[in-house]
Amino acid sequence: MGKADGFLKYQRKEAPSLPPAERTQGFQEFHLSLKEAERREQGARCMNCGVPFCQSAFGCPLKNLIPEWNDEVFSGNMRHGLSRLLKTNNFPEFTGRVCPALCETACVCGLNDSPVTIRENELSLIEAAWENGWMAPSVPSVRSGKKIAVIGSGPAGLAAADQLNSRGHSVTVYEQADLPGGLLMYGIPNMKLDKTVILRRIEKMKAEGISFICGTKAGRDISAKSLRDANDAVVLCCGAGIPRQLEAEKEKPEGVYQALEYLTASTKAVLKRESPAVSAGGKTILVVGNGDTASDCVATAIRQGARSVKQLVRKPAPVEKQIAWPHPGRLQRPDYAQEEAQAVFGEDPRMYQTEIKKFISDADGRLTSVIISTCGKESELPADMVIVAAGFSGADPETAAAFGLSLNERNRLGNAAYETGENGIFVCGDMRRGPSLVVWAIAEGRECAKKADRYLEGYTNL
């Protein structure tokens, strides 16, 4: 700890964001950065705790060496800080942007004051690295002669591929979408995670020897048998993207979309600089749900020029309550999408204890309104488009079945040791764990790579 009294001297200062009304004019990232001197002060706030709860079981799933690199941020020794950061996290540029920062909820500084800005410190380190050319490809000097197929290119698949390639195995990543990244690419919208950030990382991985085959669904476009025959191990990282259906969706008129269908169309349009196949522009929009996905749909609809956006939430409004420390969970931060709705439409979009009972459509089968129930009282709400972000029920049974595997009763695959029950087939990420977070997907990919490596080599030094 370079600055013993930093936590007394400096207040938490977060990087500024563009004002909500201004940032909704486009899909660019809206978080700005602090000046170098200010960032160093934020590093100085870390107390280098004897027991660093930030990296403990209550904090970071990756067990990031947080106090070590906070100190390097304070000292301005960014290159050394980077080497400590990359020891535990393959992709800090992703977590530095979208992680809900479980570490900050656990930070000891948060007991009497506000926590250290751990996530932003992480982002400043990794972005300094990319800017200064410290992220040059590192090709393994020796190849093991073993081949591995990684199925799915979300953060779990990318982390597993990165780890296994660094051990000298020859890794091919198969992805059913046209671009790699999983939900990083076609879930989380561009304003939260610019897609060039993902493509920059993929280029580095390619230069390091990893092959990517996109537009190919394993088990359908390429058989599970041929993948098994051609490889020494297979790692399944296919996510948990099967959407949960609403009761009312049994009769689904035109104008009702699943969140991922909508968000994917939007990001594709942003990348190709063209109009989206599904747009909220000029429409009365209802978003169903209350999680990250629902927020991303609200924010996307605002950017597309929706006439109005309401968010229907089944649960009651949350009550502000003091939570005991250390608390394994998220910091209560104002959600970016609700801030934007407030700025653009003058009100919070959320309607609590409200659910859709019935869709009403015109003679052509197009949605015109919905019957909602609020605290048991029914009413009609006009709607041109409903976006359902009611969560995910689990993994795709088709892919599991193609590999001769069955999902468990929670629609997941595998056990705590990342095994599937089939020799040489491993599983990780949301497909094993259920819908979760990017940081957990990276942690799972790393742990699963250890298992696969031990299976192939008899030991692992990953």
Ligand X SMILES: Cc1cc2nc3c(=O)[nH]c(=O)nc-3n(C[C@H](O)[C@H](O)[C@H](O)COP(=O)(O)OP(=O)(O)OC[C@H]3O[C@@H](n4cnc5c(N)ncnc54)[C@H](O)[C@@H]3O)c2cc1C
Is residue 96 involved in binding ligand X (CB under 6 A)?
no
Q: ∠ CA(63), CA(64), CA(67), 5° rounding?
A: 115
Phi-psi label, residue 52: left if phi above 0, alpha if psi -120 to 50, beta otherwise: beta
Q: Should residue 49 be labelled a site residue for ligand SF4 when binding is judged by CB under 6 A?
A: yes
CB 432, min distance to ligand X, A: 8
3-class SS at 70?
Answer: helix
Binding mask 52-91 for ligand SF4 (x = CB under 6 A): xxx-----------xx--x---------------------
Residue 326 preceded by cis peptide, ω within 30:
yes
Q: How far apart are CA 78 and CA 84, in angstroms?
A: 10
Question: In 3-state terms, what secondary structure has residue 445?
Answer: helix
Distances (CA, A) of 59 to 99, 241, 448: 12, 26, 20
Judged by beta carbon, residue 82 or residue 184, the one nearer ligand X is 184
**CA–CA distance from 266 to each of 260, 262, 441 (Å)?**
10, 6, 24
Stated as kind and residue range, the H or E segment containing 370 is: strand 367-374
Determine the residue type at 331: L
| Residue of 34, 44, 46, 218 interacting with ligand SF4 (CB under 6 A) | 46
Of 78 and 437, which CB lies nearer to ligand X in the complex structure?
Answer: 437
Q: Each residue of 248-261: b (16+ CB within 10 Å) or e? A: bbeebbebbbbbbe
Return d(Cα 203, Cα 210) in angstroms, integer.
10
* Residues in contact with ligand X, shown as a per-residue x/- string from 390 to 429 under the rule CB under 6 A: ------x--x-----------------------------x
Residue 431 C-beta: closest distance to ligand X, Å: 6
The residue behind tokens 């403990």 is: 56
List 62, 129, 149, 188, residue binding ligand X (CB under 6 A): 188
Closer residue to ligand X (CB): 67 or 394: 394
Tokens 């309550």 sit on residue = 321
Give me the least distance between CB of 26 and ligand SF4, in Å please.
34
Interface stretch with ligand SF4, choices 16-24, 104-112, 154-162, 454-462 (CB under 6 A): 104-112
Between CA 416 and CA 429 the distance in angstroms is 12
Contact track, ligand X, 328-367, x by CB under 6 A: ----------------------------------------
177 binds ligand SF4 per the rule CB under 6 A: no
Task: Indicate whether 309 belongs to the interface with ligand SF4 (CB under 6 A).
Answer: no
Interacting positions 220-279 with ligand X (CB under 6 A): 237-239, 241, 263
Token pair, residue 29, equals 């990232």
Which of ligand SF4, ligand X, none lies near 85, with the C-beta cut-off 5 to 8 A by kind?
none
Cα gap 153→177, rounded to integer Å: 9
**Least gap, CB of 75 to ligand X (angstroms):** 29
CB neighbour class for 397 (10 Å; exposed up to 12, middle 13-18, buried from 19): middle
441 touching ligand X, by CB under 6 A: yes
The reply to whether 157 sits near ligand X by the rule CB under 6 A is: yes
Q: Which is closer to ligand SF4, CB of 43 or CB of 180?
A: 43
Give the dihedral sign, CA 195/200/205/211: positive
Note the residues at the interface with ligand X (CB under 6 A): 98-99, 151-157, 174-177, 182-184, 187-188, 192, 217-219, 237-239, 241, 263, 292-293, 296, 396, 399, 429-431, 436-439, 441
Note the residues at the interface with ligand SF4 (CB under 6 A): 46-49, 52-54, 66-67, 70, 107-109, 116, 118
